[in-house]
Amino acid sequence: MFFILSSCSFNYFLINFYVDRIKGTIVSNTLSSQFAEMIAVMSSSPTYSYYGPKRAFTIMLVVSGIGALLLYVYFLNDSLVPVFIFVSKFGISSAFNMTFIAQN
């Protein structure tokens, strides 16, 4: 559990630094990032309850990994970067929230 918490927290806080680097206003980027986090927090508990801890963490970390991989591949396409950040932020925020659910 310590490894999952460490990797989720590192990636969770790292993606927040990356939001400042994308094109667009800081307000629109922050709103997009926080909207992804809001959806992730609302969906993490039902996902954890329905799939169980092992499958729920796997699903959300794969979603975050897919978003990060697509962000790496299509980094120069300015119109798709916010979408990939949204996907990565959704996956890692949900996994980060599930670490606190799993500890109770």
Q: Where are the domains of the chain?
A: 2-102
Per-residue confidence (pLDDT) for residue 26, from 0 to 100: 79
Report whether 81 contacts 75 (CB < 8 A). yes
Report whether 84 contacts 70 (CB < 8 A). yes
Residue bearing the bigger pLDDT, 38 or 3 = 38
- Which residue in the block uniquely carries the two structure tokens 């925020």? 93
Average pLDDT over residues 70-95: 85
Share of the chain above pLDDT 90, in %: 42
Q: Using CA atoms, how far apart are residues 11 and 4, in angstroms rounded to an integer? A: 11
Amino acid letter for position 60: M
Report whether 23 contacts 78 (CB < 8 A). yes
Least confident of 20-29, 38-47, 59-68, 95-104: 20-29
Whole-prediction pTM: 0.86
Average pLDDT over residues 28-51: 90
